Structure 1
Amino acid sequence: MVQGCENPLIDPLPRRAPRVSYRYAEVASTLDEPGTLALFGFAADAPASADPRYLQVALEGFDAPAPLELWQVDAPVSCGRDGALHWSSGGGWLFAAIELDEREHGDAASTAKLAYEQLHHFVAARGAQHVLRVWNYLGAINHGEGDAERYKHFCDGRAAGMGDFFVEGFPAATAIGHHGDPHRLQVYLLACDQGGSRVENPRQVSAWRYPRQYGRTPPSFARAMLLPALDALAISGTAAVVGHASAHHDDLDAQLDETLTNLEAVLASADMAAGFDTHSPLKAYVRHSTDAQHVRDFLKRRLPGVPVLLLHGDICRSELLVEIDGWRYA
């Protein structure tokens, strides 16, 4: 039973972007703050909460303790559960998340298919039907060779489950491998009752046009999404990819340089000023824990003052050592 559906009427004024920030705080008190749309804890020992707005993400942070990630909107927020799915909404914005165990649904492809079918069904019944940003976290993402790789199976299942979910065009997205239970799939999204503007990177082939060597089903995402009021850019997972090929195998510094070049190219494509600032929270996913301090030092030097959450995660291509996503506010 879906609880607390908001009025689907669309406000003609552009929706101000949710405010995304990192916070060292208590889960309960943060959830009590006005306008809290979603809250994320990182690490296996992150505090638990039954509140539908809270998600304990299956990624370990390299900071101890890791900060919480907070999304806030300028409106009252309602929330609820619908089977395995939990959600919150307010001010025209919708957060929805689902967590599934592959052992209950067959394999990576069938579990991804079910996750996207359920998210599609739920979002289609809401007023906020424009999916702008999606995050996907799955275990053992690089296990398997060729078309048997789990990430490729995930892409197959995602495409099978989405149907006409993204008929307007693909959202910005991230897909990262976690180091927790290998059967655990987490997918969550941000949607709005107004559409955004998709942004591509001229240095890269659009992901959905990747050649066959990357799997039967190409990844389904835009490089970034400019939110309805043009006041924020949601940036997809970005790595050292030029054209469609991975660059600088086994060279962490060169991959970091290339990734920052790609991030700047995305900002330019969105007609945003160059650079990131103290209000531009980023996540850096680092494959090898031994590289974490080096990545931290590199980003502090190149992006001084920018809040960066360092997480232990595997990139969707085994040769890539780091990936960065996040937000850039106008």
Structure 2
Amino acid sequence: MRTGSEMRERSPLAAPNAPTVTYREPPAGALPPGTLAAFGFGSAAAVSNDPRWLRVALEPLGEAPVELWTVDGDVVAGSDGDLRWARGGGWLYAAVECFEADHAGPEGAAAYAYRLLSAFVAAAPECHVQRIWNYLGDINVGAGDDERYKQFCTGRIAGMGEVFAKGFPAASAIGHHGAKGLLQVYLLATDRPGSRVENPRQVSAWQYPRQYGRTPPSFARGTLLPADDVLAISGTAAVVGHASAHTGDLAAQLAETGRNLDALLANGGVPAGFDARAPLKAYVRHAGDAATVKAFADAHWPTAPLLMVHGDICREELLVEIDGWRYR
């Protein structure tokens, strides 16, 4: 990660320096200067009224650090009902938490959350969405088009406004085991467009065939942030073409996920592999598989910071998904 002394000067015409993403011990008091957003994981994470703080409904597997986003410059923050936000250094964080019971189910809740976020971002100087995270419960429950993830996808596209008209950003969608009906959506945006990056080994998600639902998933495999120095990596799993691979075989799925990550990095023009400047997050379906996932990461990316959480992947046959950041 870049330190403050290593941050380059930014002219008025230059793209803003990307936020620095780190995993740290939970802060003892107020959030550090320059904090755009901070995330605690699981039911043991602190509760705070600071709009920049979000307690994510995914339980940590092993260590439970806080994920911290910091930027150059002062940060201001606020909230309005279910929406919270913070801006600084040319970047915007915005989040919505809501309950499906208030919106007639997962489709309605997704449409509501995305309408709030879309309207807020469209009116902001930082109107280019780079990355989105989505967490909902019971993601694989339901058969066929009634699966909850597929309902979420339909609601998501219904709520997307003009800020998404030029293309979808990188994203993750994971099932949590927290409060029933809770939907959490948060994003990172800035004042200039990024470059969307696809994986040549995979069909673009929005081009998936009908078998994956009435509305295909709406995300890019990655986004190269405006200064071209950071790749924001979408949730990546053992999908080849559009089909899941290696059902029931965690080791093979991890290896396939690694190949997909390598292909994405190459297509994004960033250095191969993951080092100490490349924080990764692994979503693990079965908590008992955490040691295997960690061993794989230690063998392949021994210096990369890794946060593991208990989460269900959007396809029930997939056992693990990995996302993160790759700084040049």
Within 1, Cα distance between the matches of 2:28 and 2:140?
Answer: 33
Within 1, Cα distance between the matches of 2:158 and 2:225?
Answer: 27
Q: 1:269 matched to which residue of 2? A: 267
Residue identity opposite 1:173 in structure 2: A
Give the counterpart of 2:305 among 286, 304, 307. Answer: 307
Moved over 6 A (4+): none
- Deviations along 1:227-267, one digit per CA (max 9) or x if unpaired, are 01111000000000000000000000000000010001000
Within 2, Cα distance between the matches of 1:188 and 1:129?
Answer: 14
Measured on the aligned residues, the alpha-carbon RMSD in Å equals 1.0
Deviation of 1:48 after TM superposition, in Å, equals 1.0
Contact 2:73/2:88 (<8 A) preserved: yes
- 2:283 is aligned with 1:279: no
Q: 2:177 matched to which residue of 1? A: 179
Residue identity opposite 1:95 in structure 2: Y
Give percent identity, aligned residues only. Answer: 62
Deviation of 1:17 after TM superposition, in Å, equals 0.6
Within 1, Cα distance between the matches of 2:165 and 2:13?
Answer: 22
SS at match of 1:144: coil
Give the counterpart of 1:169 among 164, 167, 170. Answer: 167
- 2:57 is aligned with 1:58: yes
Give the counterpart of 1:324 among 309, 322, 325. Answer: 322
Q: 1:20 matched to which residue of 2? A: 21
Alignment of 1:205-220 (within 5 A): 205-220=203-218
Within 2, Cα distance between the matches of 1:214 and 1:173?
Answer: 17
- Deviations along 1:179-234, one digit per CA (max 9) or x if unpaired, are 11230000000000011000000000000000000000000000000001111000
SS at match of 2:163: coil
Contact 1:27/1:47 (<8 A) preserved: no
- 2:256 is aligned with 1:258: yes
Q: 1:132 matched to which residue of 2? A: 130
Q: 1:4 matched to which residue of 2? A: none
Contact 1:97/1:188 (<8 A) preserved: yes
SS at match of 1:28: coil
Deviation of 1:327 after TM superposition, in Å, equals 0.2
Within 1, Cα distance between the matches of 2:71 and 2:21?
Answer: 9
TM-score, with structure 1 as normaliser = 0.95
- 2:120 is aligned with 1:122: yes
Flag structure 2 segments of 5+ consecutive residues without an equivalent: 1-10
Q: 2:228 matched to which residue of 1? A: 230
- Deviations along 1:129-153, one digit per CA (max 9) or x if unpaired, are 0000000000000000110100000
SS at match of 2:29: helix
Flag structure 1 segments of 5+ consecutive residues without an equivalent: 1-9
Contact 2:42/2:59 (<8 A) preserved: yes
Deviation of 1:11 after TM superposition, in Å, equals 3.6
Q: 2:202 matched to which residue of 1? A: 204
SS at match of 1:305: coil
- 2:42 is aligned with 1:43: yes
Within 2, Cα distance between the matches of 1:11 and 1:288?
Answer: 48
Residue identity opposite 1:258 in structure 2: E
Contact 2:93/2:187 (<8 A) preserved: yes
SS at match of 1:185: strand
Within 1, Cα distance between the matches of 2:249 and 2:28?
Answer: 38
Deviation of 1:88 after TM superposition, in Å, equals 0.2
Deviation of 1:27 after TM superposition, in Å, equals 5.3
Residue identity opposite 1:228 in structure 2: P
Within 1, Cα distance between the matches of 2:190 and 2:166?
Answer: 13
Contact 2:173/2:235 (<8 A) preserved: yes
Contact 2:122/2:162 (<8 A) preserved: no
